[in-house]
């Protein structure tokens, strides 16, 4: 099994971005619209998630993009401020641990945001393999990151399922033959995993 980290093993990334966006601009859609429609912001995100620029450079770049829109952003620190709004999803974490206990190999496949975005989490206790975009130089939804995860797990893609809260991240996985599971809430996802693996989770 392959799983995203932020928004699957944590509380909603969308809600956290919305809360942080509202706190700095009054517009809860600020960052969603920025990364969706501003080419410079989108390129900064790609470069950071692939590990080619660090958190400080990413934050400076985003602050400059927002300054051109008349929005002042505290630099450094906004990535950490956003991350502080996320909390562990204990239901999902418990389900992942239960699957591992019965022998299901698990990989975390994550686009990293921030230089220390996994602090407070013992990833080695949650997964057999961790494929982090900034460490491997490729990000979801590229098929390459899923190929790498399957290779490290030693499991063919056709025998894997991938959980992610972003549907477009699942497309690269599905092109490899991995089954995609769009995560919207823990109860639905845990039920789907129990059905897929034929075991109670």
Report pTM. Answer: 0.94
Residues 147 and 59 in one domain: no
Residues 17 and 32 in one domain: yes
Which of 41, 62, 83 terminates a domain? The answer is 83
Residues 113 and 49 in one domain: no
The structural domain count of the chain equals 2
Q: Under a CB-based contact definition with an 8 Å cutoff, are residues 133 and 58 in contact?
A: no
Average pLDDT over residues 57-68: 94
Q: CATH code at 160?
A: 3.40.50.1000
Q: What is the pLDDT of residue 106?
A: 98
Q: What is the pLDDT of residue 132?
A: 98
Which residue segment(s) compose the domain that 59 sits in?
13-83
Average pLDDT over residues 131-156: 98
Residues 61 and 91 in one domain: no
How many alpha carbons fall within 13 Å on the CB side of residue 145? 30
From 2, 38, 5, 3, select the one nearest 112 (Cα to Cα). Answer: 5
Residues 68 and 101 in one domain: no
What gap in Å lies between CA 115 and CA 198, rounded to an integer? Answer: 38
Lowest mean pLDDT, pick from 23-27, 126-130, 134-138, 187-191:
23-27
β-strands 107-110, 2-3: how paired? Answer: parallel
Question: Above pLDDT 70, what percent of the chain?
Answer: 100
Q: Position of tokens 């966006």?
A: 21
What gap in Å lies between CA 180 and CA 52, rounded to an integer? Answer: 28
Residues 97 and 151 in one domain: yes
Q: What is the pLDDT of residue 121?
A: 94
Residues 95 and 54 in one domain: no
Which of 45, 61, 83 terminates a domain? The answer is 83
Q: What is the pLDDT of residue 123?
A: 94
Q: Under a CB-based contact definition with an 8 Å cutoff, are residues 106 and 125 in contact?
A: no
Measured CA to CA in angstroms, residue 164 lies from 22, 77, 109, 173, 186 at distances of 25, 26, 9, 10, 12
Residues 59 and 105 in one domain: no
Residues 101 and 187 in one domain: yes
Which of 83, 105, 131 terminates a domain? The answer is 83
What gap in Å lies between CA 165 and CA 33, rounded to an integer? Answer: 18
Residues 99 and 73 in one domain: no
Residues 135 and 193 in one domain: yes
Residues 93 and 157 in one domain: yes
What gap in Å lies between CA 87 and CA 68, rounded to an integer? Answer: 32
């Amino acid at each position: 099994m392959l799983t995203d980290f932020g928004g699957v093993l944590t509380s909603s990334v969308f809600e956290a971005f919305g809360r942080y966006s509202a706190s700095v601009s009054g517009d809860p859609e600020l960052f969603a619209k920025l990364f969706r429609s501003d080419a410079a912001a989108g390129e900064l995100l790609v470069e950071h998630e692939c590990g080619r620029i660090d958190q400080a450079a990413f934050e400076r770049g985003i602050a400059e993009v927002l300054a051109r829109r008349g929005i002042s952003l505290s630099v450094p620190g906004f990535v950490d401020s956003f991350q502080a709004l996320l909390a562990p999803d204990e239901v999902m974490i418990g389900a992942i641990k239960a699957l591992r206990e019965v022998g299901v190999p698990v990989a975390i496949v994550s686009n990293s945001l921030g230089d220390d975005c996994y602090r407070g989490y013992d990833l080695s206790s949650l997964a057999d393999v961790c494929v982090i975009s900034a460490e491997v130089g490729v990000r979801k939804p590229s098929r390459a990151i899923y190929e790498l995860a399957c290779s490290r797990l030693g499991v063919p893609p056709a025998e894997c399922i991938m959980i992610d809260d972003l549907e477009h991240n699942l497309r690269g996985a599905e092109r490899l033959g991995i089954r995609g599971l769009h995560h919207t809430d823990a109860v639905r996802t845990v039920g789907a995993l129990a059905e897929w693996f034929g075991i109670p989770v």
